[in-house]
Structure 1
Amino acid sequence: MSPRTLDARPARYPTPAQAECAARRLALRHPDRCRLREVGRSRAGRPLLLLSVDRGPRAVLVVGGPHPNEPIGTAAAVRLAEVLLERPARPGLSWHLLLCLDPDGAALNAGWLDGPLTMRRHYEHFFRPSFEEQPELLPAPGSGRPPMPESVALTGLIDELRPFLQCSLHGVDFGGAFVQLTGPVGGLAERFARSADRAGLPLDVDSYDAVGWTSPAPGTYLMPAPGSPGTSRALPDEPELSTWSYAARRGAVTAVLEVPMWAVDAVGDARTHPAGPLAVGEAARDLTTRSEELTALLARVPAQAREAYGPLARTAEFNLAVAPRVAAEWLELWCPGPLSAARATTAGLVAARLPLRVASILLRLLADSRGPAAEAARERARAVVADSLDRLRNRFGARWVPVQEQLAHQTRAILSTADCLLLPI
C-alpha cells in the first residue's frame, strides 16, 4: 500500500448520519464488492448498519463507535472501506464494518462534531455511558440483567460471520496509542509502533486500561485469561464479560485499537518516576476531594432533569461512585512501590479527566435550573471544568492530534493486524 493511499483523509469526524451517507454511496458505486444492511436496532430504535466489502469465507469484523465520546471509530470504519475498495479484492477474505455500535450515545455526544474541535467544546457536549450501558460489555451470568439490543446484534454478527479477527475501534481523550489483544499477533507490535511514530503519537507504555496485564512490547497488551484478575478492583471491567472475549471463544482474535485525541508524551516514559508515590498520592487526594464536591453538586440536579436526561444522570452517578474507589486503590496498591513516569502521569490524567467529565455533564443537567442555588452550582462546576482543562493543557502538555493522523494510524493498525494474522506460518 503506497503512503498516498491513506493520505486522502477528512479533517473532521463524520457523524453517524454522515457515515451512513458515505457507506450508501460506496455501496451504490461498488455493487459488485460492497453491500450495506441493517443488522439490528438500538434501544431507541436507531438502525445498526453493517457495510460489507468482498465475499470471501475468512471474515474480519470491524466495530466502529463502541463508545460515543470516541468518534474516530466510525470515521475509521468508513475510511477503511474506501481504502479496501481502492485495492483489488484479496482472495478468500471479506470485511464487515459495523459503522456505529452505540448510535444512541453518539446522538448525545454529537454537538461537538458540528463546530470547532476544541477541548472545551468536546466536554461541553460530552457523554459516555456508565459501564452497564456500554454495548461491548455483557451482563454477568446470574445478574438478571438482559443484554442490550446493540450487544445482541454484535454477538449475533460474531455467530454469523465467525471472524478470525475482530477490531474494536476506540480512542482515548488524553494519552497515547496502544492495542489490547485477546491473543498474540506475531509482528504486530513492531508495525503498530512504526505507525504510531509516523502519526506523531506516543505509545502508552503503562496503560491504566491494562494495569497488570502482560505487555510483550511497549504499547501492546495481552488480555488476561478468563478467571484472572481484571484491570482494577474498582472498575467492573472484567474482559471475559465482553464481546471481545465472546469473539475469542468462537475462534477470533480481538484487537482493541486505541488512539488519542490529545497526545500526552509522558505516557511513553517507562523510566522510574523520582517521586512516583508522592505524585500518585496527590492525584488520589485530588480525585477524592473533587468527587466529594461534585457529589454535593449532583444533589442540586432537579428530579425532572434526572428523568429527562436519564443517561447523563446515570453516568454522572456512576463516575462519582467509582472515583473514591479508584483513588483508594491507587493509595493501597500503587503507592507502596516504585512507579514509572507513565503510571504517575496516567494517575494525574485520570484525576483531572474524571472530574472534568462529571462537571461538564452536571452543567448540562443544571442548564434549565433557576435560582441562586442552581447558579452557584453551575459556577462551581464551571470552575472545576476550567481548572481541569488548565491542568491538562499546561501541566501535562496535552496536544491535539489532527483527525487525519488519528485516522491514518487507526486504519493502518486494522490492516496490519489482519496482515499479521494472515501471514503464512
Structure 2
Amino acid sequence: MHDSAAAPTAGTVEDILRRAGAAPSHTSFPTVDALNEQMEALRAQHPDLIRSERIGTSRLGEPITLYSIGEGTRSALVVGGVHPNEPIGSLTILHLTEQLASDAAFREELDTTWHIVPCADPDGMRLNEGWFADPSDRERYAREFYRPAPDEQVEWTFPFSYKKAYFDAMMPETQALARAIDTARPDLYVPLHNSEGGGAYFYLSRPVPELYPILHALPAALGVPLHTGEAEGAHFTVLASAIYEMGTLQDAYDWTEAYGLDPYPPGSAGDASTSYAQKYGTLSLIAELPQFSDPFADDTTISETRYRDALRESGEKLVDAGTRLTALLTRVEPHLRLDTPLLRAARVFAPAATGAGEESLARAAQESDRLATVSEVETLSGLVRLHRLRWGGMLVRALRAEVDAGTAAPELRRVAVEAQTLFDGWLHEALQRGESTPLPLSAVVGVQYGAILAAHAQLEGTRAWDSH
C-alpha cells in the first residue's frame, strides 16, 4: 500500500505532476502474452477489487477482456492496442491498474469506476512483437513494423455514412470495443495512442481550456518535447499549442473534397471509437506520445524555407514513394498466393502515400509566401520518412513471407529483392540523420498517465484544481 497521507490531494496539478514523474522505468514493451499475464497477476492479487469479463474474440480467436476496478460515481474507460504498433499504452495500463489497486486513498478520492481493455487488437500487436524487446533500436523497429490496413483498424472501423462514404464492416475486435464503451458509458474515454517521433500532442473531443496548461506542463516536467509542427491533418482545429479538437470524419471528408481530391478512396475505414462514445456525453482524450525525440520537434524558429516549398517538396517525395511501391505491387499481383495482414495493408498504404503527396501538392498551390518554422519543415520531412519506412517495410515483409513459404514465382522473387533494396536505401538515409533519440519509456508513460489523471480532474463533479 502506498503511503498517501502526506501526498497532495488527488486531482491537483501538484499531485498529477508528482504521480506522472513516478512512473517506473522500462526498457521494453510487453508482448501480448506478457501483458495478459501481468493483468491477471494483478487481478489475482486483488480478487475483491479487480473484476474481469470477456467482451469479445479477435479474428484469430484471442479473448478480449474488460477489467473493472473500484466503484465510483463516475466512469472511465481506458483502452490499449487500438493501433497495434502503439504499445506505450500497454505500460500505461499496467501502471494505472497497479496504482488504482494498491492505493485505496487515491482510488477513493477519484470516486470512479475504471474500466480497462489491455489490448483491443491482439492479433495485430503480435505482428509488432519483433521490435518490442528493444524499442530503442530504430532499424529493427522499421524492419518489424506492422500497422493494419485502415479498414482493419479497431480504432477506425465504427459505422459511418456520409455523402459517398459508407462503412459498416465492424470487425469482431471493433464490436468488442463498442461493447466496452456501451458497458462503461464513460464520462472519460482514453484510447491509448503513441506517435513515432517528434513531440507530444493531444486531442480532445471538446474544448477544455482549463486542461491545456497541465497538458503542456506534463511533457515539460518529464523532458518530452511538444509537437509544434502541423497537426496530423490540416483540418484539425488548434485549441492550443500541440492540442487539437478531434473534429469529425465528416469534417475530414469535406476538407479533402474541397481540394478536389478523393475523400473516400478504396480501403478507407469507418468512424472513430471516440465518435461512437459521444452518445454518452463522453470527454475523450488522446495523448500521442513519441517513441523517439527529435531536436526540431518544438523549434518554432523561422526557417529560410517557404512553407509552400516545404509542402511541395514533401508532396513530390511522397508521390514518388507511393508510385514506386504501387508499381512493385502491380508486378507481383498475378503471382501472390498468401493473403496476409501485411499484404492487405501494403495494398492500401502504397497508393495512400501517393494520395498524401497529392494532398500536399494541392495545398502548396494555395499556400501563401510565408516562411515555415523549423518544426513545420521537420514535420513534413518526417512524414516522408514515415510513409517510406512503414509501407516499404510492410511490403518487404509481405513478399518475404511468400519467399519463405516456398510459394514465390521467379518474378515475385525478383520484386522481393527490388523492394528490399529500395527499403534499405530509404532506411539508410533515415538512419544517417542520426538526430532522433529514443525517449525514456518512464517519461512517455508518465506523460500519458498524467494526462489521464488531468482529464479526469476536469470531469463534472470532480474536485476543482487548486491554485498550484
2:66, 2:117 within 8 Å by CA — same for their partners in 1? yes
Which runs of no fewer than 5 residues in structure 1 stay unpaired? none
Partner Cα distance (2:312, 2:21) in 1: 47
Distance of aligned partners of 1:143 and 1:231 in 2 relative to their CA distance in 1, 3 Å threshold: closer
Tell me the amino acid that sits aligned with residue 341 of structure 1. V
- 5 Å matches for 1:146-161? 146-161=169-184
Distance of aligned partners of 1:174 and 1:4 in 2 relative to their CA distance in 1, 3 Å threshold: closer
2:202, 2:243 within 8 Å by CA — same for their partners in 1? yes
What residue number does 2:82 align with? Answer: 66
Per the TM alignment, residue 70 of structure 1 is displaced from its structure 2 partner at its CA by 0.8
1:126, 1:357 within 8 Å by CA — same for their partners in 2? yes
- 5 Å matches for 1:259-408? 259-275=289-305, 276-301=307-332, 305=336, 307-309=338-340, 311-334=341-364, 336-337=367-368, 338=370, 339-367=372-400, 368-369=402-403, 373-374=411-412, 376-395=414-433, 397-408=435-446
What residue number does 1:98 align with? Answer: 117
Q: SS in structure 2 opposite 1:212?
A: coil
Partner Cα distance (2:254, 2:227) in 1: 15
Tell me the amino acid that sits aligned with residue 154 of structure 2. P
User: Which structure has the larger Rg over C-alpha atoms?
Assistant: 2
2:93, 2:118 within 8 Å by CA — same for their partners in 1? yes
1:346-384 deviation line (CA, Å, top 9, x unaligned): 221111111211221122122243677555434433333
Partner Cα distance (1:236, 1:273) in 2: 35
Partner Cα distance (1:33, 1:154) in 2: 22
What TM-score do you get using the length of structure 2 for normalisation?
0.83
What residue number does 1:136 align with? Answer: 155
Partner Cα distance (1:261, 1:30) in 2: 32
Specify which of 181, 205, 221 is matched with residue 204 of structure 2: 181
Tell me the amino acid that sits aligned with residue 113 of structure 1. F
1:186, 1:420 within 8 Å by CA — same for their partners in 2? no
Specify which of 455, 459, 462 is matched with residue 417 of structure 1: 455
Which runs of no fewer than 5 residues in structure 2 stay unpaired? 1-14, 257-261
Q: SS in structure 2 opposite 1:179?
A: strand
What residue number does 1:122 align with? Answer: 141
Partner Cα distance (1:230, 1:34) in 2: 42
Partner Cα distance (1:245, 1:86) in 2: 33
2:23, 2:445 within 8 Å by CA — same for their partners in 1? no
Partner Cα distance (1:395, 1:8) in 2: 30
How much is the aligned-residue C-alpha RMSD, in angstroms?
A: 2.7
What residue number does 1:28 align with? Answer: 44
Per the TM alignment, residue 396 of structure 1 is displaced from its structure 2 partner at its CA by 7.5
Distance of aligned partners of 1:205 and 1:4 in 2 relative to their CA distance in 1, 3 Å threshold: closer
Distance of aligned partners of 1:318 and 1:308 in 2 relative to their CA distance in 1, 3 Å threshold: closer
Distance of aligned partners of 1:210 and 1:330 in 2 relative to their CA distance in 1, 3 Å threshold: closer
Tell me the amino acid that sits aligned with residue 364 of structure 1. R
Say which is worse superposed, 143-152 or 30-39, in terms of deviation. 143-152
Partner Cα distance (2:154, 2:348) in 1: 16
Per the TM alignment, residue 144 of structure 1 is displaced from its structure 2 partner at its CA by 5.9
2:154, 2:174 within 8 Å by CA — same for their partners in 1? yes
Tell me the amino acid that sits aligned with residue 26 of structure 1. L
Q: SS in structure 1 opposite 2:226?
A: coil
Q: SS in structure 1 opposite 2:66?
A: strand
Q: SS in structure 1 opposite 2:47?
A: coil
Partner Cα distance (1:25, 1:341) in 2: 47
Per the TM alignment, residue 113 of structure 1 is displaced from its structure 2 partner at its CA by 1.7
1:212, 1:231 within 8 Å by CA — same for their partners in 2? no
Per the TM alignment, residue 232 of structure 1 is displaced from its structure 2 partner at its CA by 6.1
Distance of aligned partners of 1:272 and 1:60 in 2 relative to their CA distance in 1, 3 Å threshold: same
1:35, 1:51 within 8 Å by CA — same for their partners in 2? yes
Distance of aligned partners of 1:7 and 1:147 in 2 relative to their CA distance in 1, 3 Å threshold: closer
Per the TM alignment, residue 273 of structure 1 is displaced from its structure 2 partner at its CA by 3.6
May I ask how many residue pairs the two structures share in their alignment?
424
Per the TM alignment, residue 46 of structure 1 is displaced from its structure 2 partner at its CA by 1.0
Specify which of 269, 274, 282 is matched with residue 252 of structure 1: 282
Q: SS in structure 1 opposite 2:113?
A: strand
Is 2:60 the counterpart of 1:44?
Answer: yes
Calculate percent identity across the aligned residue pairs.
28
Per the TM alignment, residue 329 of structure 1 is displaced from its structure 2 partner at its CA by 1.3
Partner Cα distance (1:10, 1:63) in 2: 20
Per the TM alignment, residue 191 of structure 1 is displaced from its structure 2 partner at its CA by 1.3
2:23, 2:95 within 8 Å by CA — same for their partners in 1? no
Distance of aligned partners of 1:279 and 1:379 in 2 relative to their CA distance in 1, 3 Å threshold: farther
1:170, 1:256 within 8 Å by CA — same for their partners in 2? yes
Per the TM alignment, residue 150 of structure 1 is displaced from its structure 2 partner at its CA by 1.5
1:313-363 deviation line (CA, Å, top 9, x unaligned): 111111112122211111111452234433322221111111211221122
Is 2:253 the counterpart of 1:204?
Answer: no
Q: SS in structure 2 opposite 1:307?
A: coil
